[in-house]
Amino acid sequence: MTGLGHAVDTLAAWLAGGPPGWFAVTLAVLAVWVAPLLLLVFPVAAFGQILERKIAAAIQRRKGPNSAGLDGPLRLVFRAVLCLLPRERQDRAFAAFCNLVPVRTALLWSRRLGLGQFVADGIKMLGKEDIVPRGADGAVFRFAPYLALVGAFLPWCVLPFAQHLVMLETEVSALFVLATSGLVVVALKMAGWGSGNKWSLLGGMRAVAQLVSYEVPIGLAVGGVVLWCGTMDLHAIVGQQYAPGVFTLLGWNVCQGPFLLLLLLVFFVAGLAECQRSPFDMAEAESELVSGFNTEYSGLRWGMFALAEYTEMLLIGALVATLFLGGYQSPIGEQWLLLLPTWLETLLHALILGAKTLVVFLLMMWIRWTLPRFRVDQVMRLAWLVLVPLALLSLLGIAVTLLVAGGTTEGMAYGRLAARPRPDLSWLPWLLLWIVPVLAAVVLVRAANARYGGRHPALRRLTGEGA
Amino acid sequence: MTVEASTPAGERMTLNMGPHHPATHGVLRIVVESDGEVVARCTPDHGYLHRSIEKIGECVEWPMFVPYTDRIDYVCAMNANLAYCVAVERLLASDPATTVVVPRRAECIRVLVAELNRISSHLIAVGAMAMDVGAYTPFLHGIAQREAVNDIFEKLCGQRLTYNYVTIGGVAFDLHDGAVAEIAAFLDQFEREMQRFNRLVTTNTIFRDRCAGLAVVDAAQAIAWGLVGPNLRGSGVDFDLRRDESYGIYGELDVRVPKGEAFAGRHGRQGDAYDRYVVRLLEIQESVRLCRAVLQLLPPAADKPADPLGGHQAEVSKILRKVPKGAVHVRTEAPRGEMGYWIVSDGGKVPFRVRCRTGSFTAAGMFQHVMRGIFLADVVAVIGSFDVVVPEIDR
C-alpha cells in the first residue's frame, strides 16, 4: 500500500479505520520505526557503555564504575510524583521506600554495578558547551554526527527481531544494510574535514580508507550467505536456517560447512574494522591522533558519535547472528517455541537475538581491551591480502558445494515467508565437506608454523614456556 | 619498514606532536613534517621541563642536592640518588683524610633498591610502549606491579616517587622489619606476573609485527650517536657499567648483560624497536636475579638499632663541610642507561659545579635520524622504544 512495509500498513489502516491518510501513516511510521529504535537501541547502547567499562575494568583488574547507583534518578522520580507535598515529606517517603529490604539491596547492587553511570554521563554530556572551532567548516562540522547516527540506525529497519517483528520487509534487505551503513563513511569524512584540525583530518582520511576497503570483504561475506541461501531477504535467510528436530542449531549457516564458518570469521573481523573497534581503531587512535576525527567534538555531538559507534557494534553483532547464527531462532527446540502464543514467542525470539548479539558484543570488547592496534599499512594488507582472498575462497567453496550437492530440497523456512529450495546434503557429503577443508587448513597452518613460527629462546624464557 | 616521502617540502603538513599530546611521555614536543601518513622529517623540541637543576647544584650544600637528583629522573629516583652519591664518595676518596667507607649492609641495600627501582622503571617503559602501540591493558598491569614496589619503598623511606633515600656515605634508613621476606615474596609473585604480561603482549603477533624492523639502529650507529643503556644493548653492543666499570658491590655480583638479537624473528633486525623493548624485559629478569642474590649477601643489621649503618652519619656530615678540591666524573648504570655526574669542588661546602649526563638526552637526539620515512603511527612507538623521560632530558 504505502510501500513502507506490512507493519506500517496494518497499523496505519487500524488507526484510520479505513484507507490511511498521511497523518495515520506518519503516526504509524513513528510508532513502528522510530519509537522502537529510540526506546530499544539507545538504552541498550548506553548500557553497552557501562558493560564495556565494567569489562575493561575486569580485564585490567580495576573496579570500574562502582559508586553511581540509581538512587539519584529514583529520588528525581519521587520528587516528580510527590511534587505537591512539601520537600520534607517527599524526603521522608523516599527514605522509607529506600529502607525496604529489597529496594535497599537493589540500590546497593545498582551502585556496585555502576548502573547510574550512564545517567551521570548523559547529564554531564548535556551540560557541556557545544564548541565549533574557529577554523571549522561550521555546517559540515555540525551535520556530521547526525549523519553518523542515521547511518548507524537505518540498517536496523530491515533486521528481523522476531518472526513477526520486522520494521521493513523487503526482498533486498541484505543490500539495504550494506548500502545504509555506508553512510557512516561520509559522516566520518565530514567530521575529519570539517573540524579544521590536522589530527581530525588524518583520522578522517584513515577512516575513509579503512571503511571503504573493508566494505569489500563484508560485501563478499554477505554475498556468500546470499549465494548459499538463494535470497537477499534477511528474514528469509533467517527462515532458511531452520531445521526440524530438537537441535535446531544444526540448520544454522555456520554449521553448513567450513566455508560458511570462514565467512563468519571474515565478516566478524571486517565488521570490527567497520565500526572502528580495536585493533582497527586507527581513525581515533588515542596514542597517535589524540582522538582522530572526533578530536574537536564536545558534548552532545561527541555523544552522538559514541552512540553511533556502539549502535554499529550492536548492529555487527545482530548481523553476525542473523546471517550465520540462525537469527532470532533458538538453538534447541525452535519448533516448540512456535507453539507458544504470538506475543510470548515474539518476546522470546527478540531476547534470543539479543543474547546472540551480546555474545558478539562481548567478544568485541574482549578483543579491544587485549590487543594492540594495527598500523595503517597492516590494516590495508589484512583487508586486501587476507580477508578478500579468504572470502573469495569461501565463495568458490560454497559454489562448488552447491554444484556437487546437486539436487535441492524444499526449504525449511516458516512464517510469512515462502520456502525456498536449499542444497540437499546427506550426512556423508556433509561430513566430507567438513573434513577435507579442515584437514587441508590444519596441514597448511602446521607447515607455516614449522617454517615461520620458531620463537627466539629468550622470548620463550620470558613467557615461561620451556627452559 | 620505511617509505620515501614523495611530496615536495613546501606541500607537506606540519604537525605539532606535543607538548600536550596524549602519547608523548611528559611535555616532549616533536615537530613532524608529514607527507600524508609518512613522516618526512621530525624535529624534537626540548626545554618545556627545564628547572635549572644543575645550576641549583652550585647553590646548595653537597648533601642538600640529593633530593634534587630525585627530580632529574623521577621514574627511577633511587638510581638517580645513587649516581650522585657514588660520585661524591669517589671525590671524597681522592683524599685519604676524607674517605668515606660505606657500610656493607648499606651497600647491599643500595643495590637492592637500585635494582627494584630498575624493575619499576622498566615496567613503565614496556607498559608505555605497549600503550603507544594501542594496547592499554598491559600498562595497567605493569603499573599494578610498580605499585607493589612503591609500597616497599614507602615502608622503607616514606615516599612513593621521590625517595631521597640513598645518602652520601650510606642510606637514610635501615630496612624495616620483615622487609627481606616481603621483597622475596614480591619477587616470586612478580616473576609469575611478568610471564603473564609477556604472554599477553610481548609475543602478541600484532605487537611484534608493529615493532619488528622499526627504527633500526645498528651497533656502529648506536655508539656514534652516544646511545646508552638498554638502547645501546638493544643494538647488540655488550656494555653495562655495572659489570664493566663496576661500583658498589656490583663487582661481587654476577651481572649478566642481555643484548638485542633480532628477537622479532623473520621481519626483525638487530637494533629495532622490538629488540630495545625485549632487552628491557630481559633486564627485568636479571634484576630479579640480582635482588635475590643481594638478599643472600645482606649482612645482619648492626647491634645498635639507633645507628644501623655503622654510626658514621655525623662524621660524614662533618667531612662534607670541607670537600677536597678536585673534579670527578663517575658513571653509573641507571635504567635509562648511563647516568654520569661531573662534579667539581673548590674545597668548600657547596659544589663548584654539578653536571649530569643522562641517557634520554642522547636517545632523543636520535629521533631525527631514525624517524625519517616511518609511519606517523609509529612515531609514538619509537619514542616509547627509546624510553625517553622528559625531566631527564631537560633537567
Q: Minimal CA–CA distance to B210: which of A379, A448, A292, A217? A: A379
pLDDT digits over B35-62, tens only? 878 888 888 888 888 888 889 988 898 8
Q: What's the ipTM?
A: 0.81
**Which of A418 and A145 is assigned the larger pLDDT?**
A145
CA–CA gap between residue A257 and residue A228 (Å, rounded): 11
The Cα of B394 is separated from the nearest Cα of chain A by a number of Å equal to 23
If you count DSSP H runs as helices and E runs as strands, how many of each does chain B have, helices first?
A: 15, 8
> Minimal Cα distance from B35: which residue of A?
A202
Bridge partners (DSSP) listed for residue A409: A422
pLDDT digits over A60-109, tens only? 888 888 888 888 888 888 888 887 888 888 888 888 888 888 888 888 88
Burial A241-254 (b: 16+ CB within 10 A, else e): bbbeeeebbbbbbb
The Cα of B207 is separated from the nearest Cα of chain A by a number of Å equal to 6
Return the pLDDT at A2. Answer: 57
Mean pLDDT of all residues belonging to chain A: 81
The Cα of A199 is separated from the nearest Cα of chain B by a number of Å equal to 8
pLDDT band at B73 (very low <50, low <70, confident <90, very high): confident
Return the pLDDT at A309. Answer: 85
Average of pLDDT values for A17-33? 78
Instruction: For residue A462, list chain B residues with Cβ-Cβ distance below 8 A.
Output: 194-195, 198, 202-203, 278, 281-282, 285
Bridge partners (DSSP) listed for residue B339: B332
Mutual orientation of helices A71-81 and A117-127 as an angle, nearest 10°? Answer: 70
Percent helix / strand / coil, chain A, rounded to 5: 70, 0, 30
Query: Is it the case that residue A217 has pLDDT exceeding 90?
Result: yes
Q: Is B167 exposed, middle or buried (0-12, 13-18, 19+ CB in 10 A)?
A: buried
Comparing A267-271, B299-303, B364-368, B390-394, the range with the smallest average pLDDT is B299-303
Q: What angle do CA B285, B289, B291 make, to 5 degrees?
A: 115
Nearest CB to B135; choose among A206, A371, A378: A371
Average of pLDDT values for B309-317? 69
Average of pLDDT values for A227-236? 82
Contact at 8 Å (CB) between B386 and B363?
yes
The Cα of A171 is separated from the nearest Cα of chain B by a number of Å equal to 41
CA–CA gap between residue B139 and residue B145 (Å, rounded): 10
CA–CA gap between residue B83 and residue A59 (Å, rounded): 38
Whole-number Cα distances in Å, A55 to B46, B139, B151, B368: 39, 16, 27, 40
Instruction: For residue B383, list chain A residues with Cβ-Cβ distance below 8 A.
Output: none
Query: Is it the case that residue B221 has pLDDT exceeding 70?
Result: yes
Mean pLDDT of all residues belonging to chain B: 85
Whole-model pTM: value is 0.84
Highest mean pLDDT among A296-305, B223-232, B266-275: B223-232
pLDDT digits over B151-163, tens only? 999 988 888 888 8
* Structural domain boundaries in chain A: 138-446
CA–CA gap between residue B328 and residue B93 (Å, rounded): 10
CA–CA gap between residue A78 and residue A89 (Å, rounded): 10
Query: Is it the case that residue B119 has pLDDT exceeding 90?
Result: yes
Return the pLDDT at A413. Answer: 47
Instruction: For residue B203, list chain A residues with Cβ-Cβ distance below 8 A.
Output: 455, 459, 462-463
Contact at 8 Å (CB) between B268 and B234?
no
Q: Minimal CA–CA distance to B239: which of B253, B258, B213? A: B258
Query: Is it the case that residue A408 has pLDDT exceeding 70?
Result: no
Query: Is it the case that residue B100 has pLDDT exceeding 90?
Result: no
Query: Is it the case that residue A254 has pLDDT exceeding 70?
Result: yes
Q: Could you say which DSSP state residue B227 is in?
A: -
**Percent of chain B with pLDDT strictly greater than 90:** 17
**Centroid of chain to Cα B256:** 17
Return the pLDDT at B309. Answer: 59
Please report the domains of chain B, with CATH numbers, ordered by start residue: 9-394 (1.10.645.10)
**Which of A405 and B360 is assigned the larger pLDDT?**
B360
pLDDT digits over A47-70, tens only? 778 888 888 888 888 888 888 888
Contact at 8 Å (CB) between B47 and A316?
no
Nearest CB to B380; choose among A279, A288, A370: A288
The separation between the first and the last C-alpha atoms of chain A, rounded to the nearest angstrom, is 74
Average of pLDDT values for A152-169? 81
Q: Minimal CA–CA distance to A43: which of A159, A122, A127? A: A122
Q: Does B206 touch chain A (CB under 8 A)?
A: yes
Contacts of B145 (CB under 8 A, 6+ apart): B119, B120, B123, B190, B193, B194
Average of pLDDT values for B187-200? 89
Contact at 8 Å (CB) between B233 and B345?
no
Query: Is it the case that residue B217 has pLDDT exceeding 80?
Result: yes
Query: Is it the case that residue B380 has pLDDT exceeding 80?
Result: yes
Q: Region of B373 please: left (phi>0), alpha (psi -120 to 50) or beta.
A: left
Contact at 8 Å (CB) between B281 and B202?
yes
Return the pLDDT at B288. Answer: 93
Q: Minimal CA–CA distance to A248: which of A411, A412, A423? A: A412
Nearest CB to B22; choose among A56, A287, A375: A287
pLDDT band at B306 (very low <50, low <70, confident <90, very high): very low
Average of pLDDT values for A439-465? 80
pLDDT band at A336 (very low <50, low <70, confident <90, very high): confident
Q: Could you say which DSSP state residue B181 is in?
A: H
